[in-house]
Amino acid sequence: MPTRRQAYETRVKRRSAVIAGGSTLGVLAAIVLLVPLAPGWPGVKKSFFNAEVFAKTFPGLLDAFVWDVAIFLWSAPLIFLLGLLIALARDARSPALYPLRLFGMFYTDIFRGVPVILVIYLIGFGIPGLGLPRPWNSPFIWGTVALVLTYSAYVAEVFRTGIESVHQSQRAAAASLGLVNKDVMRYVILPQAIRKVVPANMNLFIALQKDVALLSFIGPVEIFRQAGVYKSLLANFTPYVGAALIFLAITIPATRYADYLLAKQLRERT
């Protein structure tokens, strides 16, 4: 026999579920029913949602996406490491290391201040243009360098926030045991800091997975470029829709997971 309170709560819950379900269905129905009524819909359908083109191009897009994944996989660890080093440089306290600190500051300011695509262009064409021999002038190498430089600036800032968020008393406790600064950082501060910023970093790495496509501007035929080739061959934008779906298949689960981690951390803190 439920208490009066329980009965009331069940009623409220049921009502909210009905309202939420109803309004979602309503919006979906409106989209499904109204969009096809638009005068341009047949044209849009033909050139954006063309099943035949989709079937023809999807396998090629998947093949090209392997490049996106590969570039991501070798960039991510480099970004993590460089980001950490830059964050540590910015935390350097001894006066002898002041230049390092200054460098860290300029580095993060510059690479966060310039659009990724510009860095990719300048480094991807500029440095090989100095006359590097093959294979060291590969756009894959210098495109990766551009991504690593840009993203490590963001990751460094995230790490720095993490380092600063570890309470001062942890530093004091470690120092009081006689640990030297280097050990305090390595064994006490960093492990806590890195854990705290996992969700923030995950969001950056999701953005990285998408920005890998920008490397196509300097030559590599990854999914975005492959979709572009199909687009101009077939005069149809469906391959872009296919590419978007492939990206979403990766980024939506990753985003959900990052949100879940963040929510978990918030719960633990309270």
Partner 1 sequence: MRLLLTTILSSLVATGAFAQNYCAAGKTLLDNKLTVATGNPAYFPWVMDDAPESKNGFEAAVVYAVANEMGFADSAVVWTRSSFDQAIQPGVKDFDFNVQQFSITPERDEIVDFSAPYYAAAMAVLTRKTVVDKGADTSIGALKGLIWGADANTTAVPMLADIVQPDKEPLLYGDNADVVEAMKANQIDAALFDLPTALYLSAVVLEDGVVLGQFPAERSENPDEFGLLFEEGNPLKECVDAALETLKQNGTLAALETEWLSATTGVPVIE
Partner 2 sequence: MAFLETRRLTKSFGKNTVCNSIDLRVDKGELVCLIGASGSGKSTLLKCLNLLEPIDDGEIFLDGEDISIPGLDPQPVRKRIGIVFQSYNLFPHMTAAENVMLAPRRLHKRSRDDLLPQVTELFSRFGLKDQMQHYPEQLSGGQQQRVAIVRALAMRPEIMLFDEITSALDPELVGEVLDVLRQLRSKGMTMILATHEMGFARELADKVCFLDGGVILEEGPPETVFTQPTEVRTREFLARVL
Binding footprint of partner 1 on the chain (CB under 8 A): 40, 43-44, 46-47, 125, 128-129, 131-132, 134, 137-139, 216-221, 225, 228-229, 232-237
- Per rule CB under 8 A, count of chain residues that contact partner 2: 17
Query: Encoding tokens for residue 105?
Result: 């500051």
User: How far is residue 217 from each of residues 139, 226, 254, measured CA to CA in Å?
Assistant: 10, 12, 26
* Distance from C-alpha of 228 to C-alpha of 65, rounded to nearest angstrom: 13
Specify the length of the chain in residues.
Answer: 270
Q: Which is nearer to partner 2, 43 or 191 (CB)?
A: 191
Query: Encoding tokens for residue 136?
Result: 């060291």
Q: How far apart are CB 170 and partner 2 at their closest, in Å?
A: 6
- Can residue 172 be called a binding residue for partner 2 (CB under 8 A)? yes
Q: Which is nearer to partner 1, 93 or 134 (CB)?
A: 134
Nearest to 237 by CA among 50, 48, 45: 48
Stretch that binds partner 2, among 48-56, 133-141, 183-191, 212-220 (CB under 8 A): 183-191
- Can residue 175 be called a binding residue for partner 2 (CB under 8 A)? yes
Nearest to 219 by CA among 142, 158, 148: 142
- Can residue 229 be called a binding residue for partner 2 (CB under 8 A)? no
Q: What is the Cα 131 distance to its own chain's centre? A: 33
Contacting positions for partner 2 (CB under 8 A): 169-170, 172-180, 183, 187-188, 191-192, 195
